[in-house]
Structures are given as structure tokens and as C-alpha cells.
Structure 1
Amino acid sequence: MVPRRLLLVGEGNFSFAASLIDSLDPSVSVTATGFQHRADLERDPVAVENLQRLRERGIEVRFGVDCTQLAHALQAEDRDFDRIYFNFPHCGRKAGVAKNRELLAKFFQSCADVLTKEGEVHVALCRGQGGTPADKPQREWHNSWQVVAMAALGGFILSDVCPFSCEAVPGYTCTGYRSQDRPFHIEGALTYVFTQSLPFENSQPRTFRVRLEDRWFYFTEPEALPGKLNRCELGCGYWELDSGPLEKQPVLLTCEPSLQPCRRFLEAPSCHPIRTINEKLIAKLGKTFPLKRLKCPLPLLSWGGPSVLPPATCDLLPTFWICLREDNSSSEFLNGEIPQEMEEIPVSVSECTLPKGPVRDGGKAAEEGICEEVELGLRPSLLVHVEAVIHSPEFLPGSLNVLSGPVFQKCHISPFMMPAFHETLFILGFNKNMKESCLPSLLDHLKDTLGDLLTQTLQEGSSLSTPVGFVLQPNGKDYIIHVKSLNFGPDCTKNLIIGSIVTSKIVEHKHQCFVFVSINLDLLVMLACDISDWRILWTFDNRFLKRFAPGKIEHFKSYSLYPPCYVHDVSFWLDEKKAFDELDFHTVARAVSQDTVVSVQCLDRFQHPETRQVSLCYRLTYQTCDKALTPQLAAAMQSQLRKEIQRQLHVSLR
């Protein structure tokens, strides 16, 4: 963004302002402010000369401006700056790091009052002061100014770092506090560029309304999936299949207008990289095989309903379960009226069925206040739909039938394990006597296609040897798809599973064989675009999509650099009568922290020698990838976690 209005704070002798204006377009408005009063500067000839230059150029100059109280010094009509500069802030004399941190924190909080929504704050610090990996050498965290953490207190994230260039402002002379101290040593100094992040909102689970068999139900999304369901085309008609067995139960799905999906990942005109890579994947395979694209059914599955997932796979995919509660009123939704703007979109679902029981009169049930409940699961894989797809009139043997949509899995907290992601499923049916020719052809083209997608962002001259591998499973029929030679740092596994190939007989058919290829699109995008954290794919920040040109796979440059980590420990005694599942602990941590917990480490397991009671100690690391997380907020989340594990997991805190 080209700045229109600049605010300079903390000017000492105003040499920075006097030098900067020579490089600016005359249309740019500049306001230069200093903490000292005019009388204090009249004894400094350099300052007097610089002020004269500023007056001749018509630059507004203000004196006695406290950088921690900018809103008090500037009238409402004089705010809304596009960029704020603060060079080498310092409390003066021999102030320690604690006081300078406090200065920075209050400054950033003050900036939020006078900066435009997309504005920038530029802060120049001496070598090592920032406490980020960009500093050479990097100071220990406790001995630095912790500039990123201080900026977070004002809602800012670090978006760029560059060397402070004196050549860009010739004539600038850095002075100390009140122009009396020695100049700062600016060799190796850095300019930190901060932008405002989206605020943390109260992530109350959304409520959706669904119609099954002419009866209305409502359900609340799982607490570990806030903002996930309503961004997966649930209310946009995407879950409709034209005809066939997939349309056993008519469904109407609604949610409040404000909660309608703001960005549909897989549908046009989305330019999300997940859609881009999905379209490229399908198009490349479509050059070899005829394609039949199918629309995806609603991801709700009945308890105990049909599943064609291999038994071993089912055990590895814990499911999120939701409870549908009957809404007996057609004119009211929960405790309020249904907004007239609420749109009822017909969608379809295959495995959702109501409990079998005596038929009740709906009106009488409403009068008696009877409320029926139905327990359904969110599908952990698109493979649960293959039997319905194969028996559908839409299915074309010999063609590559394509199904794309979101899936949901309970999982441990990890940068490469995600509770919600997008999957594409390819289903190829062929005569049994053609298996020897069809299967190798599909696997060869799939390996080449994935390899091409994964290497598009590599720099010219670099190479990634054999990026894609198919690993045969113990049953001798199925494969997992993994990617080798990743470059995501020492903590990342070298072989990351991005999908599976199922050739074993999971659907009975007299004359045909089937191959099912499942691809995790989110992981594929992360690898292709060098994205190290799955959470950024689900951000609501528009800056993410601006990093990608429509239809192109590009290297991702983060707009939130070096986010600070906050570490908290929790210890508790297990209930001898209740089984403890560590996955449940991870799920509670994910829900309470709004996906800000990035690591859960079991530090200790202790058994009391007399009571034999078992105690566990866990260390949780909080860190965001797109928002400003403060230590206070992380501590509040940890406090809430302690309450929730007592309530949900029946443990006793130590």
C-alpha cells in the first residue's frame, strides 16, 4: 500500500523528517512529532535548521507529543495515518530492558488509535534489541526488548524485517534522549514493520438447523471446530447430488446470515490455493482418464451406519459426534425467530436416518414438549461414500469419478495433523480382466502429477529427488502416499503421508474392480507452497489470499513473522474409575485455545507409592500463525483449560 499520510514520532533533532521528505511524493502528507518542547530545541542549531526546512516544505510539526498517548495529542480528524515511524525508541539514560519494553507496549497500544486498518508501524531498533531470529547476533529472550510480544499487546503482528538504511535518508543523524546523550550505534540496526491482526473473538460454537424427513433439528458444531463447518459450503447447496441412492433423505440446512460461509474453499470463484491445486490435480489426471465430477453429500453419518473404510483405517480416524435436537416449532429457531433473510437450501445426505420407532404426531409431540435427539458423526473420510457413489446412476465405469469435500477427524495437536481438511477422492472402476493394465497406468500418472505439483515452486536449478512415494501396506494391496525430502525444519518428519490408494475389495461387485485414491488437499498445498502450519489455510485474514495469484501455485510468504511462544504446564491426578484418553486431552486443549496450542508434551507420569493413584504432567506451548497472541490471553486460555479438563475428563488438578 502506498502511504498517503505519515506520522513520525519520537523525533529528536528532526533530521529524519527533514531527510525523509526529499524522497517522498509531494502529495504525501507528513506530520512530524517530538517529545521535547520547542524551547528545548532552540539551543540545538541542527534542530533549528531542520525545523526551518520542514516549515519551508509545509510539513506539520508538533512538540511535546507523548508517543504512548497519540490519541490525546491528535484530534479525531487528524488521525487515520497510513504509516507510523518510530526510530530507536529509548526511555533515556540507562533505562533497562523492562522500561523499554513498557515503552514499546504502550506505544503500540497508542498506535492502534490513530492508524488505518491496513496501516503499518515501522520501528527501528539497534542490533540485538528486538529479540527475534532476524537479529544477528540474537540476544536471549529475557535480555531483549521482545518487540513482537510488546506489539501484540496493541494487536500488531510482525510482517516484515529489513536492515535500517541510512543511505535512504541522507542527512539523518541519530541522537539520544533530549539530544544530550551519545548517538545510538546503528550498525546492524533493523526496521521492524508491524501490521494489525484480526482480533481474537469469542469463538462460541455456531448452531445449524437441518431438516430430516419433514422434521426440523438443530445442532451445535463441535467446540474444537469453531469457524470450520460454516466455511465448508454447508449452507450453500454444495452438498447436493442430482439423483440416485445418495438422495435418500431430503435435507434443508440453514444458519444465521452472518454465519454463512465467507469464503468457499472449493467452489468458483474461490482463488484459495486449496481449490487451485485441486483443479490442477483433476485437470492433469483428466488428460489421461475421462472424468466424471460428482457433488459431495452432506458430511453427516448415522451412528453405526454403513462404512466402507477398512477396519484398520477406522481405528485411526476418531470421529467428531454431534447431537441433533428436534426443533418442534416451524416459526421459531432456538429462542428467537428465524430471520426472514435466512435461506433454506436443499441438500442431500445418504447415511443420515432417523431412529426407528413408533410414529408420533408432530403437533402432539410439540404440545407435550417432547424433543427427540439423533446422534450423528462428521465423516472422517470421503471413503464412507464410495458404496453409495458406485451404486448411483451417476457413476461411470472406466472414468475417473471425482468427489471433493471437507472431512473431519479428531487428532493430536501437530503442525501437520488437522481436525478439518479438504479431501479429493478418485474412484476408478474397470473390468477385472483389465486390472493389470489400468492400475499401473493410474499409479504412474498419479505419481507424475503429484510430483509436478510439488515441484512447481522450486527455484530454477534446484531439484527434489523422488518427491512422491507409494508404500505398499502389509495386506499387499493398498498403498500410502508419502512425500520425501521435506524442508520444513528439524521438527518435521521426512516422510509425510498425503493420501492413500485402496485396491482391496471394500465394495462387492461381480464383474468390476475398483481403485480408490484419497488425497489430502490441505497437506498437498502446504508442501507445494511451503506453508509450515495448516492453520493458516483456514485464516479469515484476507492477506493470505492476496499472497496467491488466481490459478497459480506460488511460494507463500508469511505476513506474521516470529510469533512469540508462551509455555504453561498442568498436572493432574487421573480418576481411577474413568479411562483417560490423551486424544481427548488434545481435543479439549484445541477447543479452549482456539487452535493456539501448537505443542502438547507429556513431561512426567507419576504413580503414588501408597495410593497407587496416577498423576500426569503436560507442557503446552501457545503460539499463533496469523494473530497477535498476548501472554495475558495465553494465561487466560490455560486457566480455562484447567477448568475444562476437570469438567470433561474427570481429573483432579494438582
Structure 2
Amino acid sequence: MGFLPVGGGNAPTVCWPTAERRSELRGFHPDSFDSCSSLVKIVSNNNYIIILIVFNLLHKFRFSNAPRFLSPFATLLERKPKQKRDPPDGRQDAREDFPAPVKHTLREVSVPVKMSERPEVLLVGEGNFSFSVAVCESGAAASITASCFQTEQQAAAQEHAARNIQRLRDQGCTVLFEVDCTCLNEHEVIRRRVYDRVVFNFPHCGRKSGVKKNRTLLAKFFISCAEVLKAGGEVHVALCNGQGGTPRDHPMREWHNSWQAVAMAAEAGLILSEIRPFDRDGYQGYKCTGYRSQDKGFHSEGGLNHIFTQSLPYTMPEKLKMDVAIGKEMVRFELPEQLSEYVNRDFLSRQSRHPAKLVLEQLLREIKSSWPVCSVNGSFPELLSCSQEKLRACGSNLSSSEVYWIKPIETHPLDQCEDSEKDCEPMEEQQFPSSSYVLRPSLLMHAEEIMQREDFSPGTIYALSGLVYQRVPISPNRSPVFHQLLLIAVLPSESQPVQRLQNNLEALLSHYNVSFEKEDVGEEHRAWLSSRELHNFGRITSVPIPRAERQVCKSSVLTLLLNLDHLATLIFSIPDWRLLWTSDPRFLASFEPGIQVPSPFQAFSLYPPSYTHDVSFWMEPDTFDELDFHEAVRIATCGAVRDIQLVDKFRHPHMGHASLCYRLAYQSPDRALSRTRVLDLQNQLRTLLPLRLNITLR
């Protein structure tokens, strides 16, 4: 059961704090066309039905090598099956000088839109216009605008250029001259349109320009593209082998000797979503030109076409006021802002195709092969009345500092709030319960309530799943909120329930490097689940029940606690747990409900750049809480920090206070993260830290 936003009504699927923040998501279309629909819509009407049938069949049976009987221009429009990606890599130095980032990098951020019948394609930086002619005469149903930097007289002087220009005009294409690709929005024709595709083949500043100038060219081009790109549009940039600076270059050049295309695109809010080999032979009549600004060709063998798409913007988390019913009271409280993106997402709902839900379904199917399983229904609030003694009694291994203690704003008797038209009078502060409130750190806190239900029956395993909240440091493997599965049952001890349940899980998880470690504490039997990334992410426990009079068989209470989110990252090869909480619709679109053999997740943001910044400060050792520091980092950096390491500490021998130096690793798995953006986030952090913590920045 999720929290209810203040004011009642229907809880949103994604709980953004403000309507303005939610509206930013409505225009975002990251993947405008799949491999079937895009191919179908570019063919002529006479072939429409035939192509539709063939490609639907190909899509159904997932043939990855579909016959390429369409025009070469289809590669600009189709979405080919993605290949397995290399691990993310990339680093951006903070020494370069780039243009200021575009103020609104996305023309509109909203729900996906379908590709128009005649997609608008803009080609910039053309030389002899042979590529534009190849595209135009391929039969693709697209509206093409071809442009070059030279004047018409200069362009026509190149070999075959005059003929190509005339052929384009005869086909009804728009041909523009003196177009500066770094300020497209200033051109009188281009600024009046928005484009589905912007294509720039083999950009170069000309002559013997160095790496720095060409990086700046790319950055300005991407920023300019953002002003004329449709929501869900793409930017195609073909680069010679080694220029892009990604692991797909063979060999991959050193950072200082490549153009770092991904980092340059991030300045405009664009992410690299796909890389394809540049198929020069697929464009009949295409002849590359422009070597050292001359009418000469160059080596394009091994060239790569980099496809960039729009990403969601960064938004600062905000505190949410929430209402939740606890017993006979309605409690209003303020949710910590660093948790606002996790609540009311409904990822475990019936219709969800979130990977945590898919893992949950597969687990329950496996366990049902050995025991009857019943899913527990009912109201299990995520805010609980709890004391430290109750926290220890529930078997949680968490300390008091690792849970989120909540102080309610006000509390109302529930019977006064049933009538929404009546104003609820808050209880006086001295009437608050003596116990405190916590965001539940474990589903075990509901175990007693489940076992006391009238329908609880020995021999049946009862399953409860939901969100749990734990204060943890920022790391690549642990999240402050995750989906947890609780299984609880009363079973005969002689049936060895721990071993049987372990066998079930091993059969399902043996391929994902999950290990089991047994531990016996007196009569209590345990088995811990661990992976190479996260130790003890699951636990099986069996505790014997004292035998009553006339009881023949000895029974035990069997419980299983499992981190579903971590299992999902293992099973689907998700490289970063933060992807599980992204609002980018491309993530959930990658998963199909009811799958039996999970396929690895195909990242929609390839090789995201990483940045490193240090922060050091003086603090008082007796009052400093490191988890408070990590929470401040989460808030100030909008979740863009992947890892934090303590690299140095010093304690003054006479003054008593100490100095700490932390190293922050910035990297985003789903959003564009530029050098400029990181500097802004780091400055936000330095502003926030003294306000939230009793520290002095160095």
C-alpha cells in the first residue's frame, strides 16, 4: 500500500511533487518508432500491406537479421535490434571551455508521439550533396532538407555537386546554402520547422584543426540541434573510426586524442542511444569529400554512425506532505525529499511490467511447485508506529540510525476524517503516542499481523511484497528504497523447510552467481543469499515453535526476506540500480510481462561520461553523522552521484575537530550529464552542506 498525497483523491502512478514537474514528462518521446512501424511507414501505399505482414511476422519470431530489401535510407528511420552493449565507460576532463548549455535542451518533454507519415529530415554539412541524393532517390517517404556551409557558387564548384543540387530540387527537396550548423535556430527557413532527424556526416572544422576545436564544433552543433528537434527526435552523427571516443572504436583512442562525442552531446541534454557501422556502400552514388577542406575524399572505412536521443531533465527533489491511516488515526507527515521519487510508483501492481514485478512472479511460480502459496491482501501502511524495542524484536539487523524516523506534522482520529467535507481538528502535541513513527525498514514488521489473521493456515506459505526504507550510504549496489518480498509459513520441522526453500531458489538463481551461506544459532537455522555485488541481500530463517500438549509434530516458523530490486539487476543484467526508478519510458518498454527466459537489458544511454569531484570540510566528530552527509548529496545532486569514497581524514591534535575529504563519482545511467551540469550540481552541494550539517567547508 502506498502513501496517499495530501488532499485525498487518486494517487498518481508517478509521485512528482508538483504539477509543473509532472507536466515536464508529458511531451517526452524517447523512442518514436520501433523496427516494424518505422519500416512500414516509409514504403509506398502499394506495398504497405505486404510489408506490414512480413515485418509483423519477423517481429513476432524475433528474427534479428531481417532481410534488407528496403532502401538504404531505412537505416536512418528504423530501430534495428540492439546488440549487447559494452560496459559503460567514459571520462570528461574539466579543463575544456565549451559554450553555455542550452537553457531548454528539449523542445517539449512529454509522452511518446508517433512518427509522422512524412518525417522531416535535416541534413547539414553536405559537401557535394551526393549523400542527400542517395537518400532522396532511395524511395523513402520523407521530407528532406539538405544544407551546406558554403555559398551556392562554392558548393557547385565541387565535382558533380551542381548536378546533385538540381536532382534534389527536381525531387522537391529543400536545398539551403550558407547554413551554420552551430546556429540552426537562427536560419530563417530552418527555425520555422522541427525535425524528426538531424544528420551530420563526418563533421570537421576544416584543414588541420585539432581535437579541441572539433569538440567545440560538436558541442555547439548539438546545442543548436536541440532547438529544432522534435520531441522524440534523433541526431545522427557519423564519425571516423577513433573520433567518437567510445569503446566501439577500434582501437579506442586516449581521452585527449578523441572528440568525446557523448560528453559533447550531453551539453545539449542528449544521450547516445545506439551506434551502427556507417554503411557507405548502402548509399548508391555517395562520395565523401572535404579532406582538409578540399574537394578530395577521405578514409571512411570503419566509420560509426552515432545516434543521439533526448533525455529527461534534472529536477530538484521536494518534500511531500503525505497522509496515511495507522490504526484509528490519520497521520500527516513530511516525506524526506530524497525519497520523493520512490513513492507511489506502483511497480508491483497487477498490470506492471517492471523487472522487480517480473522477478516476483517468477519466484512465486517456482515456490508454488513445492508448497501452496497465498498472496496476502490488505492494508499494510509504509509508515508504522514503532519503538526501538519493537524494532529489535522484529528481528531486524538494522541499527536505530539506519531507519527513517518520522515526526508527524499532525494526527487526527480516523472517524473525524471519514467525511471529506469536515475539517479534521489536529490532536494536541501532548496527545501524540509515546512511540515514534518510522518508514518501515523491513516487511518483517508485518509478520505478527499476518500470522494473526483468521485465514492463516499452517502448511501454506504467505507472500507479502512492498517497499522498505533504509538509510544507507551512496554506493553502486545499495538503494535507500527497494522492493522486498516476505514469505512466512508454519511448516513441520522434520520437512527441513530451510533446505527445501534453498533448493527452490538455487534452481532459479544458480545462473546469476547467487551464493548461499548457512548459519545455525541455537535451534534457529538460517541461510544467507549473497552476490558478488551485494552481501546478504536475502535471508531464509526457520525458528522452532514450542510444542504444545498433544502436539505430535514439531513445527517451525519459516520466513524469507529477499531484495527484489537487487535480484532484478542480476537477472536482467541491469548495470545500475537507479535505472529501476527512472521515469524514462524506454526502461519499462524493454521488459515484457510473462517472460520465461529473461533477456539482458539493452541500455538506452550508452557509455555515459563520468566525472570526479572532491569535497572537504571541518566537522565535530561527536555530532557528525555520515549518513546525513550522504542524504545531502542525494538531494543536491539530484541522484547523479554514483559512488562516494572517503579519501582522507585528519583530526586536529589540540582543537578536537576533524577534517574529512570525500571523492564523489558523478555518472547518470539515464540522463545526460555534462561537465557544465556537474559543476552546477557540485556548487549546489557546497551551498547545501553548511545549511544542513554543522560543518565548515574547506
TM interval, shorter chain, is: 0.7 to 0.9
Deviation sequence 1:224-248 (CA, Å, 0-9, x none): 21311132xxxxxxxxxxxxxxxxx
1:199-348 alignment to 2 at 5 Å? Answer: 199-211=313-325, 216-231=330-345, 264-295=346-377, 297-304=380-387, 306-307=390-391, 313-315=397-399, 318-326=402-410
> 1:600–1:618: 8 Å Cα contact kept in structure 2?
yes
Distance 1:309 1:509 in 2: 22
1:29 to 130, 143, 149: 143
Q: Please state if 1:632 is matched with 2:676.
A: yes
Q: Please state if 1:644 is matched with 2:688.
A: yes
2:508 to 449, 454, 458: 449
Gaps (5+ residues) in structure 1? 232-263, 334-342, 345-360, 456-463, 485-492
Q: Please state if 1:440 is matched with 2:555.
A: no
* Amino acid corresponding to residue 538 of structure 1 in structure 2: W
TM-score (normalizing by structure 2): 0.75
Q: Secondary structure of the equivalent of 1:314?
A: coil
Equivalent in the alignment of 1:499: 538
Give the aligned length.
568
Distance 1:309 1:196, change over 3 A: farther
1:355-434 alignment to 2 at 5 Å? Answer: 375-431=436-492, 434=493
> 2:124–2:146: 8 Å Cα contact kept in structure 1?
yes
Q: 1:569, CA displacement in angstroms?
A: 0.5
Q: 1:362, CA displacement in angstroms?
A: 7.3
Q: Please state if 1:581 is matched with 2:625.
A: yes
Distance 2:264 2:317 in 1: 24
Distance 1:391 1:401 in 2: 12
Q: 1:539, CA displacement in angstroms?
A: 0.8
> 1:281–1:450: 8 Å Cα contact kept in structure 2?
no
Equivalent in the alignment of 2:83: none
Q: 1:404, CA displacement in angstroms?
A: 0.8
Question: In percent, how many aligned pairs have the same letter?
Answer: 41
Distance 2:157 2:604 in 1: 44
Q: Secondary structure of the equivalent of 2:586?
A: helix
Extract structure 1 runs of 4+ deviating beyond 6 A: 327-330, 368-374
Distance 1:308 1:429, change over 3 A: farther
Q: Secondary structure of the equivalent of 2:482?
A: strand
Distance 1:95 1:508, change over 3 A: farther
> 1:450–1:468: 8 Å Cα contact kept in structure 2?
yes
Larger RCO, structure (CA 8 Å, separation 6 or more): 2
Distance 1:142 1:509, change over 3 A: farther
Q: Please state if 1:558 is matched with 2:603.
A: yes
Q: 1:312, CA displacement in angstroms?
A: 6.8
Q: 1:528, CA displacement in angstroms?
A: 0.8
Q: Please state if 1:17 is matched with 2:132.
A: yes
* Amino acid corresponding to residue 315 of structure 2 in structure 1: E
> 2:316–2:636: 8 Å Cα contact kept in structure 1?
no
* Amino acid corresponding to residue 543 of structure 2 in structure 1: S
Equivalent in the alignment of 1:475: 521
Gaps (5+ residues) in structure 2? 1-32, 39-76, 78-118
Distance 2:499 2:180 in 1: 72
Q: 1:303, CA displacement in angstroms?
A: 3.7
Q: Secondary structure of the equivalent of 1:84?
A: strand
Distance 1:137 1:77, change over 3 A: closer
Deviation sequence 1:533-581 (CA, Å, 0-9, x none): 11101111110111112222321000001111111101111225x3333
> 2:179–2:187: 8 Å Cα contact kept in structure 1?
yes
Distance 1:41 1:205 in 2: 58
Distance 1:70 1:371 in 2: 65
> 1:322–1:377: 8 Å Cα contact kept in structure 2?
yes
Distance 1:617 1:156 in 2: 32
Q: Secondary structure of the equivalent of 1:150?
A: helix
Q: 1:370, CA displacement in angstroms?
A: 9.7
Equivalent in the alignment of 1:49: 163
Q: Please state if 1:569 is matched with 2:651.
A: no
1:136-175 alignment to 2 at 5 Å? Answer: 136-175=250-289
> 2:519–2:525: 8 Å Cα contact kept in structure 1?
yes
* Amino acid corresponding to residue 129 of structure 2 in structure 1: F
Distance 1:508 1:641 in 2: 55
Distance 1:194 1:68, change over 3 A: same
Distance 1:587 1:203, change over 3 A: closer
> 1:501–1:518: 8 Å Cα contact kept in structure 2?
yes
* Amino acid corresponding to residue 384 of structure 2 in structure 1: L
Distance 1:200 1:290, change over 3 A: same
1:546 to 576, 579, 589: 589
> 2:629–2:689: 8 Å Cα contact kept in structure 1?
yes
TM-score (normalizing by structure 1): 0.80
> 2:518–2:528: 8 Å Cα contact kept in structure 1?
no
Q: Please state if 1:596 is matched with 2:680.
A: no
Distance 1:468 1:198 in 2: 34
